[in-house]
Amino acid sequence: MRAILKKITHPFLKYTSQKYFSKPRIYGFEGIKVKVMPEVFPPHCTLSTKILLEYLKPLDLNEKTLLELGSGSGIIALYAASKGAKVTASDINTIALTALKENSSQNGLDIEIVESDLFQNIKQQRFDYIIINPPYYAKQPKNIKEQAWFCGENFEYFQKLFEELTTRTDHTILMILSQDCDIMHIKHIAKQWSLHLTIEQEQTKLLEQNYIFRISKDD
């Protein structure tokens, strides 16, 4: 029963079945508004973006450097910039990045926007914070829209992410995952790269458990 319920409520199925997201839609947080294009991950659909935004709320980000890796609509990047952070937003989805340029000027918030496959074009070697809301369902993405949801049949996104993280010197790397995905397997891949995922925050909302993990190097 739970499996059937899960299938019906799977966020990606819910999202693709809604005509609502076939048009640009507005998403807002704390006075910041972004136009989300149909090809871009809609933060309205899942709890993950909102949980990360709420997590950042009490933090003192003034003058802190922050990278939103895979920024989608960029609402997290723009919110961090509104709190005084020096923000870089990156994505492989060029439609998302073009819209983010427009959204950043509409909100009067200046951020650096970089087209990059993971860290490929990220020049800065160290950020105070890296925030990641990854694609975490194990399936091969068929197009740019699906790349926001699917990490590859063999979790290729995570293989590459963890490999690239081993050479970096960032202070705090936070990544959100839901109980909906195979957390044990993702942790196992991290371990292969001598990385460790520890729970920074756990939240249950609408029967779904979400975890913000801190990624660190094994001692």
Ligand X SMILES: C[S@@+](CC[C@H](N)C(=O)[O-])C[C@H]1O[C@@H](n2cnc3c(N)ncnc32)[C@H](O)[C@@H]1O
Residue 148 has what DSSP assignment? G
Burial of residue 159 (CB within 10 Å: 0-12, 13-18, 19+) is: middle
Q: Which of 21, 45, 47, 49 binds ligand X (CB under 6 A)?
A: 49
What type of residue is 73? S
Using the rule CB under 6 A, give the single segment among 14-22, 63-71, 78-86, 192-200 that binds ligand X. Answer: 63-71
Per the CB < 8 A criterion, the answer to whether 130 and 164 are in contact is no
Shortest reach from residue 42's CB to ligand X, in Å: 8
DSSP secondary structure string for all residues of 111-134: -EEEE-STTTT---S--SEEEE--
Q: Which of 70, 107, 122, 158 binds ligand X (CB under 6 A)?
A: 70
Rank residues 26 and 219 by Cβ distance to ligand X and give the closer one.
26
Q: Are strands 195-205 and 129-132 parallel, antiparallel or unpaired?
A: unpaired
Per the CB < 8 A criterion, the answer to whether 164 and 118 are in contact is yes
Shortest reach from residue 89's CB to ligand X, in Å: 9
Rank residues 64 and 158 by Cβ distance to ligand X and give the closer one.
158
Using the rule CB under 6 A, give the single segment among 14-22, 41-49, 104-112, 177-185 that binds ligand X. Answer: 41-49
Residues 100-159 that bind ligand X (CB under 6 A): 116-118, 133, 135, 147-148, 157
Tell me: does residue 54 bind ligand X (CB under 6 A).
no
Give the strands of the sheet with 129-132, arranged side by side: 112-115, 86-91, 65-69, 129-132, 172-178, 208-217, 195-205
Shortest reach from residue 116's CB to ligand X, in Å: 6
Using the rule CB under 6 A, give the single segment among 56-64, 68-76, 167-175, 208-216 that binds ligand X. Answer: 68-76
Using the rule CB under 6 A, give the single segment among 42-50, 97-105, 163-171, 197-205 that binds ligand X. Answer: 42-50
Tell me: does residue 73 bind ligand X (CB under 6 A).
yes
CA distance 134 to 103: 22
CA 126 from centroid of its chain's CA atoms: 18
- Contacts with ligand X, residue ranges (CB under 6 A): 41, 43, 48-49, 52, 68, 70-73, 76, 91-93, 96, 116-118, 133, 135, 147-148, 157
